[in-house]
Amino acid sequence: MAIETELLRTMAYFTGLDEAALEGVRHLFREHSFPKGTQFLSEGDRSDSLYFIVSGLVKVFKTSADGKEQIFRIIRPGESFNDVPVLSGGINLVSAEAMGPVVLNGIKKKDLEAIIRERPQVALNVIQVLSRRVQELVALVEDFSFRHVTSRVAKMLLEYADHKAGEGPRLTQQEMAAMIGTAREMVGRSLKNLEGAGTIRMERNRIIIADQQALKELAGII
Amino acid sequence: MKEMPVIDEEKCQGCGLCVDICTCGALVLRDNRVRMQAADKCGWCTLCELVCPYGAISCPFEIVVEDEKP
């Protein structure tokens, strides 16, 4: 099933394209659906499609030899992933797993390259997307190098707070730990510290940010 | 209805560690699989998730900003 042009318009790769241009590329996409827990991309495998999320959430991660997981990003509807291997022609740098039921739209490398050659606006969009990826990775290195665990937890809570009901990811403490490069126990301890300081409240399965400004200061966000 | 920890029945090996550690009495071992027997008792302490060696039980959190609550 071809993608809707309305949806295409919201994707960073295709912003600035007119209706006719969007109509011209939408038939190049193919829809894929996966149930929760499906790992549909594996690190080290070769894949030739770029994916956009229509609905649901996807985590992209690497796994160490001893099974430790590092989550790089949680991808939300409208966002793309698998950009770097597709554009560089290499293998998957990370694995991808559906955090719930997920619907994706995929476009083949050869089709994407044809669009880029034909439309300079898309090439500029791709540069912007890749620049954001570099910014995200620099931020991750910065977090690991210079922030203590509580500060990383504070930053992660702010980043993944649910601003629109139901759209944010629901995260286990293990997943939080895998995102910020620490042990689950350290996340639990940090959440208790933040609760003790009054910046968050834990209400059963909800973490409520009670003092957003204090949390931003802890996270080093001005 | 209260949301409950998510049990992945395919991963659960019925070892019962989560039942042993659950201080709320919300979990029970039945037919060699973990079941939720008393949803109201679960306090979301996440100990079941912590001890499961198979990653079969998860206690996810929703993160919300107080000011933006409806």
What digits encode the pLDDT tens for the residues B12-52?
Answer: 999 999 999 888 889 999 888 898 887 788 889 998 998 89
Instruction: Using a pLDDT cut of 70, give the percent of chain A over it.
Output: 97
pLDDT band at B66 (very low <50, low <70, confident <90, very high): confident
Q: Tell me: the pLDDT tens digits for A12-57?
A: 999 999 999 999 898 999 999 999 889 999 999 998 899 999 999 9
User: Any CB–CB contact under 8 A between A221 and chain B?
Assistant: no
Give the closest of A37, A173, A209 to B64, CB-based. A209
Q: Tell me: the pLDDT tens digits for A106-145?
A: 999 999 999 999 999 999 999 999 999 999 889 889 888 8
Q: How far is A52 from chain B (nearest CA, A)?
A: 24
- With CA atoms as reference, the chain B residue closest to A204 would be B44
Q: Is the pLDDT of residue A58 over 80?
A: yes
For the entire predicted model, the pTM comes to: 0.78
pLDDT band at B67 (very low <50, low <70, confident <90, very high): low
Put simply, the answer to whether B49 touches A37 (Cβ < 8 Å) is no
Q: Is the pLDDT of residue A197 over 90?
A: yes
pLDDT for the residue B25: 86
pLDDT for the residue B70: 47
Residues of B in contact with A207 (CB under 8 A): 61-64
Average pLDDT over residues A192-220: 93
Q: Is the pLDDT of residue A215 over 90?
A: yes
- With CA atoms as reference, the chain A residue closest to B52 would be A174
H-assigned helices in A80-160: 83-88, 109-118, 120-146, 149-160
Report which of residues A164 and B26 the model is more confident about.
B26
Distance of CA A24 to the CA centre of its chain: 27
Average pLDDT over residues A57-72: 90
Strand partners for A207: A202, B63
How many CB contacts within 8 angstroms connect chain A with chain B? 68
Whether ipTM tops 0.90, in short, is no
8 A C-beta contact, residue B61 and residue B5: no
Residues of B in contact with A163 (CB under 8 A): 65, 68
User: Any CB–CB contact under 8 A between A188 and chain B?
Assistant: yes
pLDDT band at B69 (very low <50, low <70, confident <90, very high): very low
Beta strands in chain A (DSSP E): 29-34, 39-41, 49-55, 58-63, 69-75, 80-81, 95-98, 102-108, 200-203, 206-209
Nearest C-alpha neighbor of A126 from the set A45, A25, A11: A11
Rounded distance, CA A135 to CA A147, Å? Answer: 17
Q: Is the pLDDT of residue A100 over 50?
A: yes
Distances (CA, A) of A31 to A55, A65, B8: 11, 33, 27
Q: Is the pLDDT of residue A175 over 70?
A: yes
Report which of residues B7 and A1 the model is more confident about.
B7
Residues of A in contact with B66 (CB under 8 A): 201, 208-210, 212
